[in-house]
Amino acid sequence: MLIDLHAHTAPRSNCSTTTLAELVASARGRGLDALCITEHDVRWPDDELADASRALGFPVIPGVELTTDVGHVLAFGPLAKPLWMGYRLEELLAEAEHGPLALVLPHPVRHLAGARAIKGGRTPPAPEAVAALDQWSSVHAIEAASTQTTELEHAVTAAALRVAPRPAVGASDAHGPGRAGAFATRLDVRVDSAVALAEAIRSGHVEPVRTEPPVAGA
Ligand SMILES: [Zn+2]
Ligand SMILES: [Zn+2]
């Protein structure tokens, strides 16, 4: 199945300008089978998201984008701590050892090779330097591409994946209309819950997909 692992709605993510209904319309228009909602450091109440998914007639799976000591980390599955207390990467890894929690590193080279970094005069890192980051080898999958990352970031990430191969996913990181599903992940199983998704990601049987062409008006 094809799933978008990373998307934001307004007003739960104040950087987003779109709604759950619009994200679902875009993902559906691109032929996806499911969409994850990953707001910053906050989760939708499970029953509210399930109700919305039913009303829209489309599988929507809960996740969260956590702000950690190594930057953003996407988490799928149960988390033990209240989110307002914050998470360090090592705490997430410890929880993932004991439960069905999957961790994905989004925009993995943003601080090294993102638009702002390059504008600030940074030289893009060698792939070996990216592969040497703690988070590169410790999370379950790397986000290889999204609508919020540049072609340079995609190239640096791809080079690091060649040096130090890891399971890789695609995800839209949609913050606006028409973006959801532009990048997606192919799973070799069908999932309908965060725990099942976490198991699928942890299995490593994931593949990034860029959906082409964008559907007009989606
Ligand atoms: Zn992020
Ligand atoms: Zn995001």
Domain extent listing, the chain: 2-210
Closest ligand, as measured to the CA of 179? 2
Closest ligand, as measured to the CA of 16? 2
| Ligand 1 centroid to residue 121 C-alpha, Å | 22
| Ligand 1 centroid to residue 87 C-alpha, Å | 15
Q: What's 56-118 look like in SS3?
A: HCCCEEEEEEEEEECEEEEEECCCCCCHHHCCCHHHHHHHHHHCCCEEEECCCCHHHHCHHHH
| Ligand 1 centroid to residue 9 C-alpha, Å | 13
Measured between alpha carbons, how far is 165 from 31 in angstroms, rounded to an integer?
28
| Ligand 1 centroid to residue 73 C-alpha, Å | 7
> Which of 110, 95, 108, 107 is closest to 198 using CA atoms?
95
Measured between alpha carbons, how far is 163 from 27 in angstroms, rounded to an integer?
32
| Ligand 1 centroid to residue 128 C-alpha, Å | 23
Measured between alpha carbons, how far is 126 from 118 in angstroms, rounded to an integer?
14
Tokens 């875009």: give the residue: 26
**Maximum C-alpha span of the chain:** 48
Q: Report the sign of the C-alpha dihedral through residues 188, 146, 82, 58, in that order.
A: negative
| Ligand 1 centroid to residue 8 C-alpha, Å | 10
Measured between alpha carbons, how far is 178 from 169 in angstroms, rounded to an integer?
20
pLDDT of residue 216: 54
Average pLDDT along the chain, 218 residues, taken 10 residues at a time:
97 88 97 98 95 98 98 97 96 97 98 95 96 97 97 97 98 95 97 97 98 58
Closest ligand, as measured to the CA of 64? 2
| Ligand 1 centroid to residue 115 C-alpha, Å | 14
| Ligand 2 centroid to residue 7 C-alpha, Å | 6
Please name the fold of domain 2-210. TIM Barrel (3.20.20)
| Ligand 1 centroid to residue 99 C-alpha, Å | 24
| Ligand 2 centroid to residue 181 C-alpha, Å | 14
Backbone angles phi, psi at 193, to 5 degrees: -150, 165
Closest ligand, as measured to the CA of 73? 1
Query: Could you count the other beta carbons within 10 Å of the beta carbon of residue 111?
Result: 13
